[in-house]
Chain A
Amino acid sequence: MKNTVFLGTLTVAGLCAAAASAATLDDVKARGNLNCGVTTGLTGFAAPDANGVWEGFDVDVCRAVAAAIFGDKNAVQFVPTTGETRFTALSSGEIDLLARNTTWTMSRDTDLSFDFIGVNYYDGQGFMVPKNLGVTSAKDLDGATVCIQTGTTTELNLADYFRANNISYEPVPIQTNAEAQQQYLAGACDVYTTDASGLAATRATFEAPADHVLLPEIISKEPLGPLVRHGDNEWGDLTMWVLNALIAAEELGITSANIADMSAAPTNNPEVNRILGTEGELGAMIGLENDWAKNAIMAGGNYGEIFERNIGENTPIGLARGLNAQWTEGGLLYAPPFR
């Protein structure tokens, strides 16, 4: 008798767990906040400011999703993850969304059972060296000691690149960007390699950024994007369209300055009206209120504003838009139509 009750309880608990993990949106709504995985600290992309408030390019994606769901950009619990822990955190359900400059690869999308919801930064792997080494090309790095974040695609690209060019190197595996920075500055390695954006962000925090140079070689394609668990398509759709809304908003000229006016009454542009919810029922299609995109854009501005504020040319990180410009400006950003 006792046995049966015990087993029954276990089974019910198991079923509940299975059912609960199916609908992430319901979970998030019930919890009242979004659990968003970010880096343990990479200035410009995700790092706590002096008051402990997380800010950055990836953080703003999390905030936009939270704002779309709750209308409150602060309804986010940020979970710092390392290159090693991020996938386990996502697949175990500890986080609902991973926005941690993660490269979209086929095996991660399929074998690891995740779904990338888009690309928020088109990147490539680069090298940073101290200027006084006099190195001008990655091909001069024969015999160098290379600091590298372990558990990343950069680790594999590096091995492939040096092998293809028949040059030797000594890898020093490092767990976080902060440790890598310390090792690099202490001279325990000659070179630090990671995504070029990460290098720029790291260099910006140095005491003397001008003493370090990024080598011209970009040795890989690194489309960085947020990702969710495979299998909950509704949740994947929701997050994907929040990201698309941010990108489309820039293209259509919706900014945090004019969004209040534009959403007050229908404008002459029907697509703007559909995004801002003054026309049509796009919100209901992803299980949200009709002002979801308006809230998402109000959280941190459109994609261009988020970029300029966190990592743009006027910040210490100083990244140009490059590939990350709108398709109309010669970049790769191209949001599908809101219809």
Chain B
Amino acid sequence: MSSISDSPRGSGFHLSQLIYDTRYRSMTIQVVTFLLVVLAIWQLGSNLLANLANLGQEPDFGFLDSRAGYDIGSGFGTSIIGYTSASTHIDAAFVGILNTLLVAFLGIVLATIIGVIAGVLRLSKNWLVSRLMAVYVEAFRNVPLLLWIVLIYAVMTESTPQPRAFRVDEAGIADAYMVFDAIAITNRGVYLPGPIWGPNSGILIAVFIASVIGALVYRRYAKKLLFDTGRLLPMVWPAIVIAFLPVILLFFVLGRPVGLDYPVLGGFNFSGGMQISNPLVALWLALSLYTGAFITEIVRAGILSVSKGQSEASEALGMRANRTMSLIILPQAMRVIIPPLTSQYLNLTKNSSLAIAVGYPDVRATLGGITLNQTGRALECMLLLGLFYLALSLIISFVMNVFNNSMKLQER
């Protein structure tokens, strides 16, 4: 080997050295590969632009400012943006983005809860419980997500009554009744009483936020007391009392400033109150259950990665099983769990683009669906869509990396 890498002394640099001299060869290969990749990308890009130009379709984002002309179903995004068919395409995209963020956020929260609980139960010594969790995991992660979304939606649509079934006929009988006269479960969504914010309701909200902070302060104090003196104060019920009692008292003192708006059956649908639409619920449940199955396995692997000595030591100290899990095992398992958990969160977020299957107006359905179709600007819409998902994924990764760093082994 040495004979190859020794260049003859005294002579100048020869071009052939770029290939035959090991000092330069790897550099040469890298540069050539880089150039080839750049050329290929350039060639593809210029071909694309040239072909689009031939078709008379140069990339142009001007369509975003033109009138969208289509309606989007009412819901989270539509109400925040105040979207109507007279809004622009960019507004429609924002409605979609908000809806995507909503379902991704809800999905991540629920998937994490499901995943952690199922992951712990999967390791249960109870045969039935651990087998049930195994069935859940295998059923959900081995069937395509799209099927689960459609299946859950179909079950929800077919098994619940139509709004018109709630209509009372002359004999005073209806085919379906509201739960507590307040909640209507229909095949279009669940209608709940919504709050009416009267005067002074701002005070109520401020007091509630203050009480929650108070409850957290109490928990921190109790924890500190436990670590300092070993005295264990009750944790759960005082926190609940601190958080809710002042608000409930104030509610009556102020003369019930917050009322409830009950859903009422109108001509075709219920109106008033809050509506949680079936597409959202179906998509949310399917995404959460599907991703939850993967998180279950990640949590299980994380728990198994903690040495058995840790739980034995904890038991030897006389700690109960659930305390051992929440105070000893899970905090250590987190270090193994978080990195793969991040990619599951990213998967869930990107998988939310299947929303159109059940008619949920996410960004793929508005910008990448209806807008794309009505304007024919496929390249532009897909570029924007790609940028959005890229940015969202990078943000989630960043947040999870920060979280991961905070959970890292603190070396002293």
- B86 to chain A: which residues have CB within 8 Å? 163
Q: Nearest Cβ in chain A — how far from B209, in angstroms?
A: 34
Q: Is the CB of B361 closer than 8 A to any CB of chain A? A: yes
Q: Indicate if the CB atoms of B164 and A173 lie closer than 8 Å.
A: no
Q: Indicate if the CB atoms of B69 and A160 lie closer than 8 Å.
A: yes
Q: Indicate if the CB atoms of A230 and B370 lie closer than 8 Å.
A: no
Q: Given A87-B373, A113-B57, A145-B188, 15 more contacts at CB 8 Å?
A: A6-B36, A84-B372, A145-B268, A150-B365, A150-B369, A151-B370, A151-B374, A156-B374, A159-B85, A169-B71, A171-B72, A173-B365, A186-B158, A190-B269, A231-B54
Give 25 A-B contacts (CB < 8 Å), ordered by A residue. A6-B39, A14-B47, A18-B51, A18-B54, A84-B372, A87-B376, A113-B57, A143-B267, A143-B269, A144-B269, A145-B188, A150-B365, A151-B374, A158-B71, A159-B85, A169-B71, A171-B71, A171-B73, A173-B73, A173-B359, A173-B369, A175-B357, A183-B359, A186-B187, A229-B55
Q: Is the CB of B56 closer than 8 A to any CB of chain A? A: yes
Q: Nearest Cβ in chain A — how far from B324, in angstroms?
A: 48
Closest to A187 in B: B162
Q: Indicate if the CB atoms of B359 and A170 lie closer than 8 Å.
A: no
Q: Indicate if the CB atoms of A155 and B370 lie closer than 8 Å.
A: yes
Q: Is the CB of A237 closer than 8 A to any CB of chain B? A: no
**Those 4 A-B pairs whose CB atoms lie nearest each other, nearest first:** A151-B373, A159-B85, A187-B162, A112-B376
Q: Knowing A143-B267, A150-B365, A171-B71 touch, does A183 contact B43 (C-beta < 8 A)?
A: no
Interface residues on chain B, number (Cβ under 8 Å): 44
Q: Indicate if the CB atoms of B268 and A144 lie closer than 8 Å.
A: yes
Interface residues as binary, B160-201 with A (CB distance below 8 Å gives 1, 0 otherwise) = 001010000000000000000000000110000000000000
Q: Nearest Cβ in chain A — how far from B165, in angstroms?
A: 8
**Which of A6, A107, A173: most chain B Cβ within 10 A?**
A173
Q: Indicate if the CB atoms of B373 and A10 lie closer than 8 Å.
A: no
- A83 to chain B: which residues have CB within 8 Å? 373
Q: Is the CB of A91 closer than 8 A to any CB of chain B? A: yes
Using a CB–CB cutoff of 8 Å, the interface residues on chain B facing chain A are: 35-36, 39, 43, 47, 51, 54-57, 69-74, 84-86, 157-158, 162, 164, 187-188, 266-269, 271, 278, 356-357, 359, 361, 365, 369-370, 372-376, 378
The CA of A162 and the CA of B70, in the complex, are separated in Å by 11
Q: Is the CB of A172 closer than 8 A to any CB of chain B? A: yes
Closest to B368 in A: A84
Q: Is the CB of A20 closer than 8 A to any CB of chain B? A: no
The CA of A144 and the CA of B266, in the complex, are separated in Å by 10
Give the residue of A155, A163, A230 whose beta carbon is less than 8 angstroms from that of B56.
A230
Q: Indicate if the CB atoms of B361 and A173 lie closer than 8 Å.
A: yes
The CA of A172 and the CA of B357, in the complex, are separated in Å by 11
Q: Indicate if the CB atoms of B187 and A188 lie closer than 8 Å.
A: yes
Give the residue of B85, B267, B356 whose beta carbon is less than 8 angstroms from that of A175.
B356
Q: Indicate if the CB atoms of A156 and B70 lie closer than 8 Å.
A: yes
The CA of A320 and the CA of B51, in the complex, are separated in Å by 44
The CA of A186 and the CA of B157, in the complex, are separated in Å by 7
Closest to A7 in B: B39
The CA of A10 and the CA of B39, in the complex, are separated in Å by 11
The CA of A151 and the CA of B55, in the complex, are separated in Å by 21
Closest to A183 in B: B157
Q: Is the CB of A205 closer than 8 A to any CB of chain B? A: no
Q: Is the CB of A51 closer than 8 A to any CB of chain B? A: no
Q: Knowing A3-B36, A10-B43, A173-B365 touch, does A159 contact B373 (C-beta < 8 A)?
A: no
Q: Is the CB of A136 closer than 8 A to any CB of chain B? A: no
Q: Indicate if the CB atoms of A173 and B356 lie closer than 8 Å.
A: yes
Closest to B270 in A: A143
Q: Is the CB of A174 closer than 8 A to any CB of chain B? A: yes
Q: Indicate if the CB atoms of A143 and B359 lie closer than 8 Å.
A: no
- A141 to chain B: which residues have CB within 8 Å? 268
**Which of B55, B370, B373: most chain A Cβ within 10 A?**
B373
The CA of A229 and the CA of B271, in the complex, are separated in Å by 47
- A162 to chain B: which residues have CB within 8 Å? 71
The CA of A301 and the CA of B357, in the complex, are separated in Å by 39
Q: Is the CB of A315 closer than 8 A to any CB of chain B? A: no
The CA of A143 and the CA of B272, in the complex, are separated in Å by 12
Q: Indicate if the CB atoms of A170 and B267 lie closer than 8 Å.
A: no
Q: Indicate if the CB atoms of B373 and A145 lie closer than 8 Å.
A: no
Q: Indicate if the CB atoms of B56 and A113 lie closer than 8 Å.
A: yes
The CA of A87 and the CA of B69, in the complex, are separated in Å by 19
Q: Is the CB of A142 closer than 8 A to any CB of chain B? A: yes
- A170 to chain B: which residues have CB within 8 Å? 73-74, 188, 269
Q: Is the CB of A49 closer than 8 A to any CB of chain B? A: no
Q: Is the CB of A137 closer than 8 A to any CB of chain B? A: no
- A172 to chain B: which residues have CB within 8 Å? 73, 359
The CA of A231 and the CA of B73, in the complex, are separated in Å by 38
Q: Indicate if the CB atoms of A84 and B369 lie closer than 8 Å.
A: yes
- A158 to chain B: which residues have CB within 8 Å? 71
The CA of A111 and the CA of B55, in the complex, are separated in Å by 9
Q: Indicate if the CB atoms of A188 and B370 lie closer than 8 Å.
A: no
Closest to A144 in B: B268
